[in-house]
């Protein structure tokens, strides 16, 4: 893998993957994707690539960005979690050489540490993976593109909840929006 490329792994934490954290929606499709992602991460590391794991602060009023707290005042938008320690643990465990970044909103680039780290390492190309494709992944793709990064979006290593409407939205993003507006959108085996 090229030294100017990093693998971004977004929100592969228990809160977004583990069956014990499911509430109104299920994560079966996410858990089906995770073994492929885990295998790809291992292969990417072995090639000398830099892996960046992104997680979120506890998804509670106390820790979130003010605009999210304001949004969640609307009962149809509310999505606070318990914010316990188990929820925030990684579902796929990072290794020592991996960079870990925490965000308190949807877009990983809202934390300036990510851009600073990528510039320090002279990385200008990002492989994007993670969950939720129609949420934090989508927001981070837009943030990365706006920050000037070249993107390779690994569509079979991006997933969302089992909700039919969220699956349809994610499919539109994968098939139309991402490839026409933000970057090369392929399956990881096509790299």
Domains of the chain and CATH, by start: 5-57+90-190 (3.40.50.850)
- pTM of the entire predicted model: 0.93
pLDDT (tens digit, 0 to 9) for every residue of the chain, 191 residues total? 567 999 999 999 999 999 999 988 899 999 999 999 999 999 999 999 999 999 987 777 787 788 877 877 888 776 667 667 788 899 999 999 999 999 999 999 999 999 999 999 999 999 999 999 999 999 999 999 999 999 999 999 999 999 999 999 999 999 999 999 999 999 999 98
Other C-beta atoms lying within 10 Å of the C-beta of residue 167: 15
Q: Give the Cα separation of 78 and 64 in Å (integer).
A: 12
What is the pLDDT, as a whole number, of residue 90? 94
Q: Give the Cα separation of 11 and 106 in Å (integer).
A: 10
What is the pLDDT, as a whole number, of residue 78? 66
b/e per residue 67-83 (b: at least 16 CB within 10 A): ebeeebeeeeeeeeeeb
> Which uninterrupted H or E stretch holds 159?
strand 150-159
What is the pLDDT, as a whole number, of residue 61? 79
Is-contact 92 37, C-beta < 8 A? yes
């Amino acid at each position: 893998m090229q030294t100017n490329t990093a693998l971004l792994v977004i929100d592969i934490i228990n809160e977004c993957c583990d069956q014990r954290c499911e509430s109104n929606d299920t994560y079966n499709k996410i858990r089906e994707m995770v073994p492929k992602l885990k295998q790809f991460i291992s292969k990417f590391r072995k090639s000398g690539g830099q892996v960046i794991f992104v997680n979120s602060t506890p998804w509670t009023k106390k820790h979130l960005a003010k605009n999210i707290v304001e949004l969640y005042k609307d009962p149809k938008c509310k999505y606070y979690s318990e914010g316990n320690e188990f929820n925030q643990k990684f579902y796929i465990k990072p290794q020592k050489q991996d960079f870990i970044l925490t965000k308190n909103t949807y877009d990983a680039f809202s934390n300036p540490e990510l851009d600073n780290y990528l510039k320090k390492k002279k990385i200008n190309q990002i492989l994007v993976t993670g969950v939720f494709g129609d949420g934090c992944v989508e927001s981070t793709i837009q943030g990365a593109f706006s920050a000037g990064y070249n993107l390779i979006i690994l569509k079979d290593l991006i997933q969302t909840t089992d909700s039919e409407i969220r699956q349809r939205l994610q499919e539109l993003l994968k098939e139309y929006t991402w490839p026409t507006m933000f970057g090369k959108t392929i399956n990881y085996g096509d790299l």
